Amino acid sequence: MKDWIWTRERKAAPARETLSRDQIVAAAMAILDTEGVSGLSMRKLGTKLGSGATSLYWYVDTKDDLVDLLIDEVWGEIDVPEPELAGWRAGALLFGHSLRSAVLRHPWLPEVMYTRPSIGPNAMSMGSRGLVLFGAAGFSEHEIDLAMGSVMSYVLGTVSAEVATREMVRKSGRSEENWVTDILEQAQAVAGDYPEMQKSVRRRTSMDLDSGLTENFVFGLDALLDGLQARVKK
């Protein structure tokens, strides 16, 4: 069995002034958040911490392991309300928004999230609290899994696409109020043969980026929750 990083304990005594896994994770997170996945290299991370690149390998077996830690760090930021506070429906809404904003704070996540299982402690804690929340809705045991899974998939899928949009607008350097970027111009050009698409692109770009994306997110989440609610104790 693979020696997963979650259960491999830290190597005992501190001794002299030294690096630490927490320190490494924090520095790597800062790099990822500002420069993205392609900006994170072991050498750069090393110099940022004032150490050699290969020193990091004392705390982390591979770069992938480090990324696993970073992903779980994000899951630790998610807020899952207890159902007693406002009921499952409002709780699920809050959960969705919390998940969304965490990903928006860490826009590198979609790029790496889908290539590995999320089985760190924070992921487990989040999942556990999520199950309690959806359990309060009155689903059968089996449906609890399905309902929570579909909400998470919807949220992550939507926000992943959202991140891609935001990133491309950001890179284009145009204003966010009128975000007709190079990409959209290109899309318009290619969409020339498809009038429905042409119109849709125009509709989207005519509105404020932020509120448009938020509305988009809420619309689908509400619809999904409606559909789930109708399935309770059928």
What's 208's DSSP letter?
A: -
CA–CA gap between residue 149 and residue 74 (Å, rounded): 18
Under rule CB under 7 A, residue 57 binds DNA: yes
102 binds, among DNA, its own copies, none (CB under 5 to 8 A by kind): none
In the complex with its own copies, which residue's Cβ is closer, 90 or 190? Answer: 190
Give the torsion through C-alpha atoms of 164, 167, 171, 176, to 10 deg: 110
Tokens of 22: 């927490």
Under rule CB under 7 A, residue 19 binds DNA: yes
CA–CA gap between residue 130 and residue 79 (Å, rounded): 10
189 binds, among its own copies, DNA, none (CB under 5 to 8 A by kind): its own copies
Please, are residues 33 and 70 in contact by the beta-carbon 8 Å criterion?
A: no
CB of 233 to its own copies, least distance (A): 15
Only one of the segments 58-66, 121-129, 194-202, 216-224 lies at the binding site for DNA (rule: CB under 7 A); that segment is 58-66
Under rule CB under 7 A, residue 9 binds DNA: no
List for the chain the helix, strand, coil content (%; round to 5).
Answer: 70, 0, 30
In the complex with its own copies, which residue's Cβ is closer, 51 or 172? Answer: 172
Q: Find the binding residues for DNA in span 100-139 (CB under 7 A).
A: none
Q: Between helices 182-190 and 141-172, what is the axis angle to 10°?
A: 110
In the complex with DNA, which residue's Cβ is closer, 40 or 137? Answer: 40
CB of 71 to DNA, least distance (A): 15
Closest CA to 213 of 40, 72, 97: 97
Applying CB under 7 A, which residues contact DNA? 11-16, 18-19, 40-44, 46, 51-55, 57-59, 61-64
